[in-house]
Amino acid sequence: MSALLNAPQREAIHYLDGPCLVLAGAGSGKTRVITQKIAHLINECGISAKNIAAITFTNKAAREMQERVAHLMGGRVPGGLTVCTFHALGVRIIRQEAVHCGLKPQFSILDSSDTVQIVSDVSGDNDKGIAKQMQWQISSWKNAMITPEEAAQLADNEIASTAALLYKEYERTLRAYQAVDFDDLISLPVRLFDENPEVRERWQNRLRYLLVDEYQDTNRAQYRLLRLLSGVRGAFTAVGDDDQAIYAWRGADVENLRLLQVDYPKLKVIKLEQNYRSSRRILEAANTVIANNEKLFEKRLWSEHGIGEQIVVTNCPDPDREAETVAMKITAHKFENRTRFKDYAILYRGNHQARIIEQQLRNQHIPYVISGGQSFFDKPEIRDLISYLRLLMNEDDDLAFIRAITVPRRGVGAATIEALGNYAGHRHISLFAAVFEEGAAQHLNPKQLEGVQQFAGFINRMQYRATREPAAQLLEDLLTAIRYEAWLFEHCTTREAETKWSNVRDFVDWLGRKGAEDGKNLIELTQTIALISMLDKEDPDFDGVQLATLHASKGLEFPHVFLIGVEEGFLPHQSSIDEDKVEEERRLMYVGITRAQRSLNITWCERRKAGKEVRVCEPSRFIAEMGGDIRINDRKKSGPVSNEEGRARAANLMAMLEARSKPGA
Ligand code: ATP
Ligand code: MG
């Protein structure tokens, strides 16, 4: 092991007597502790790779970790080593213990649009907004490991009681579909281990050492899973940073950091204070911003790096001009510094901001990749195909059944599906199973029956092949059989159809590569896709500017970072200001700043469209909080603004920032 490590890092790596928590700020080498510790466990301690599991937050982080480990271990990831997300580990546990969970191994994994659909189906309410809210409530219960029965008991008003009832129905529906949602991927294993000591011990013996990255963002259920897996030995190392906790909105609970100390009195806590990532200016700005939050744990980062390039703050008239400015700056900077495109990252608060940036990058012929967006696997044409894959894997997946049978249409209309659904509901079986029951003939007319039977027969034939042939070949034949390309061109403009078809081709290619690389069969591939669409998408390894939401950028680092849309109401987000949750937004800003190694560019817009209105914006309070050592690049002359007062306020703030940025201020 030749890599550089400082003393506390080495201590964390060599400590094996019990649970260990590394609590430290951004870029201090926490993730490095994990990768090095894996190598140490295998090389020096003789622990078999298959007994080690490292858990990360996103698939991208998991891939990066695999690369880092391979690098340390002479070029290959040791066979049997588990490096994955909590959710992927959950899939693996449920698949192997399916019988104990009341599922078949080919269970479907539903994403949030599926689950909202189910909620809206069981509630009989077509209002998507309400369904989303209810789904959110159900998800919170599941993350807190509260059962429908407990939810009903806890309910102290009518709305909560209704939601609890809905929760029960929702769970019933999921099981009927032989499907799980993302929350189940954690809560089912927890329940299983809680109730079944034999199974628990088997897994404890299999995963003898656990390493958890980004620990601050685990939720209650994930924490329980960690506890159950690590058992009384408490053989785990968790690393985290409370200042980077940015998933409270999804049930993550920083309390888990404190809980660890309570639940494991022997917990060894190690702090790292040297930052190896960023220039001193960037680090100083990050420290100064986060100092405005109330502290959970005291820590201050320092760096041996040089002072580095100026941090530049630029105001732009609107998001289009902002995107244009960023694209031009990247081109110029790249030309001057002979860098690669992939040295640049553009980070933003919300996914929707990507579109404008994408347009500008395309205009200026700058290659890019988006991570953290759900874009690709969420495209309707890709969802169409995934519904076929899901159905091939698990014919009880009614949502997949409905989507597949209606796209492309085979003369099977809403009335047919409704009749079939009534019958299936009455018999408590899936739609697919209902097709072949004799009783179906009493509910469907002969023509309807013929339509659904033809479809089900087709699926049956494909299923037979699914276990014998590569997934990509299967999908290829399926596309021909359903005449998907022709259907696209009949139903969309030529241009749209071309784009969609090219996405389909990308998907088939991806499936082929993935299947060949990992030797995965259709079931494993389909379950993998569900996980990818949840958090991030696989990026091909090519030279492109990296686009990511701040949330998805966690744990990553880039030489040059552009943080865009840094305005009041946007970052911090208006809803967080209203709900008094600015601290979480500040942590988001902290995450953004600390991704940068050498240069940091911040932009904000003076005007932004909000529906039909144009809103006048002010620079984010976080810019003022960054301290004096920044350069203000004022582009005031770049266009008129409608609201004078807002503009005056923005100008005032600028003046204040400028005054502070003068030496000696
Ligand atoms: P984050 O909180 O953002 O996830 P982190 O604490 O996980 O950050 P790492 O990503 O592990 O930090 O490390 C940041 C950078 O510093 C990496 O490029 C890593 O290779 C480097 N690094 C870590 N430790 C050392 C060290 N002891 N000597 C030199 N470089 C180091
Ligand atoms: Mg890290």
pLDDT tens per residue, range 474-507: 889 999 999 999 999 988 888 888 988 988 998 8
What's this model's pTM, rounded to 2 decimal places?
0.81
pLDDT tens per residue, range 30-75: 999 999 999 999 999 999 999 999 999 888 888 889 888 998 888 8
What is the reported pLDDT for 418? 81
What is the reported pLDDT for 646? 45
Question: 277: Cβ below 6 Å to ligand 1?
Answer: yes
- In order of 116, 132, 138, 166, 575, the CA distances from 125 in angstroms are 11, 11, 16, 11, 26
Which of 177, 196, 214 is the C-terminal boundary of a domain? 177
Which of 177, 194, 209 is the C-terminal boundary of a domain? 177
CA dihedral 32, 41, 58, 399 (to 10 degrees): 180
454 and 596 co-located in one domain: no
Question: 278: Cβ below 6 Å to ligand 1?
Answer: no
227 and 114 co-located in one domain: no
Which of 122, 143, 177 is the C-terminal boundary of a domain? 177
Question: Is residue 285 included in any domain, yes or no?
Answer: no
Tell me how far apart the terminal alpha carbons of the chain are, to the nearest angstrom: 47
Domain limits for position 629: 302-375+542-658
CA dihedral 655, 660, 663, 665 (to 10 degrees): 120
Beta bridge partner(s), residue 619: 567
Question: Is residue 87 included in any domain, yes or no?
Answer: yes
228 and 91 co-located in one domain: yes
Cβ atoms of 204 and 47 within 8 Å: the answer is no
Question: 26: Cβ below 6 Å to ligand 1?
Answer: yes
Give the phi and the psi of residue 425 in degrees, each rounded to 5.
-65, -45
87 and 192 co-located in one domain: yes
**Residue 457: which CATH number?**
1.10.486.10
397 and 426 co-located in one domain: yes
231 labelled binding-site residue: no
Distance CA 482, CA 409 (A): 9
Q: Distance from the CA of 46 to the center of ligand 2, in angstroms? A: 26
Give the phi and the psi of residue 614 in degrees, each rounded to 5.
-110, 120
611 and 548 co-located in one domain: yes
By three-state DSSP, how is residue 616 classified? Answer: strand
- In order of 41, 149, 187, 258, 394, the CA distances from 229 in angstroms are 18, 26, 13, 19, 29
- In order of 135, 454, 538, 636, the CA distances from 632 in angstroms are 44, 67, 37, 11
Three-state SS sequence of 484-510:
HHHHHHHHCCHHHHHHHHHHHHHHHHH
Place of tokens 């749209």: 496
102 labelled binding-site residue: no
Which residues surround the ion ligand 2 when the cut-off is CB under 5 Å? 30-31, 555
Question: Is residue 30 included in any domain, yes or no?
Answer: yes
DSSP string, 361-398: HHHTT--EEEES--HHHHSHHHHHHHHHHHHHH-TT-H
- In order of 119, 223, 293, the CA distances from 151 in angstroms are 16, 21, 34
Residue 508 has pLDDT above 70, yes or no: yes
DSSP letter at 81 equals -
> What contacts 285, CB < 8 A, 6 or more positions away?
311, 593, 600, 626, 627, 629, 630
115 and 260 co-located in one domain: no
Question: Is residue 2 included in any domain, yes or no?
Answer: no
Distance CA 246, CA 585 (A): 8
Percent residues over pLDDT 90 in the chain: 50
114 and 204 co-located in one domain: no
621 labelled binding-site residue: no
What mean pLDDT do residues 591-610 have?
Answer: 95
Distance CA 216, CA 200 (A): 25
Q: Which atom of ligand 1 is nearest to the CA of 33?
A: 11
Residue 599 has pLDDT above 60, yes or no: yes
Q: Distance from the CA of 521 to the center of ligand 1, in angstroms? A: 36
Q: Distance from the CA of 402 to the center of ligand 2, in angstroms? A: 42
pLDDT tens per residue, range 437-481: 888 888 889 988 999 999 999 999 998 888 788 888 888 999 999
526 and 636 co-located in one domain: no
What is the reported pLDDT for 506? 84
- Which amino acid is present at 603? T
What mean pLDDT do residues 250-260 have?
Answer: 81
Q: Distance from the CA of 624 to the center of ligand 1, in angstroms? A: 28
Q: Which atom of ligand 1 is nearest to the CA of 26?
A: 2
Per-chain mean pLDDT for the chain: 87
What mean pLDDT do residues 103-109 have?
Answer: 84
Percent residues over pLDDT 70 in the chain: 92
Positions marked catalytic: 30-31, 213-214, 244, 595
pLDDT tens per residue, range 264-282: 999 999 999 999 999 999 9
Residue 189 has pLDDT above 60, yes or no: yes
Question: 4: Cβ below 6 Å to ligand 1?
Answer: yes
DSSP letter at 266 equals T
Distance CA 54, CA 581 (A): 31
- Which amino acid is present at 53? A
Question: Is residue 491 included in any domain, yes or no?
Answer: yes
What mean pLDDT do residues 95-99 have?
Answer: 91
Both structure tokens of 23: 């609590």
**Residue 138: which CATH number?**
1.10.10.160
Question: Is residue 653 included in any domain, yes or no?
Answer: yes
Question: Is residue 289 included in any domain, yes or no?
Answer: no
Residue 364 has pLDDT above 90, yes or no: no
Helix pair angle (30-43, 7-14), 10° resolution:
50
Helix pair angle (582-593, 280-290), 10° resolution:
170
- Which residue lies with its CA nearest to atom 30 of ligand 1? 276
Q: Which of 11, 276, 278, 554 to mutate to test the pocket of ligand 1 (most atoms within 8 A of CB)?
A: 276
ipTM summary value:
0.99
Q: Which of 4, 31, 274, 595 to mutate to test the pocket of ligand 1 (most atoms within 8 A of CB)?
A: 31
Residue 537 has pLDDT above 60, yes or no: no
628 labelled binding-site residue: no
Distance CA 31, CA 25 (A): 11
Domain count, the chain: 4
254 and 156 co-located in one domain: no
391 and 509 co-located in one domain: yes
Question: 514: Cβ below 6 Å to ligand 1?
Answer: no
**Ligand in closest contact with the CA of 241:** 1
pLDDT band at 174 (very low <50, low <70, confident <90, very high): confident
515 and 642 co-located in one domain: no
Question: Is residue 1 included in any domain, yes or no?
Answer: no
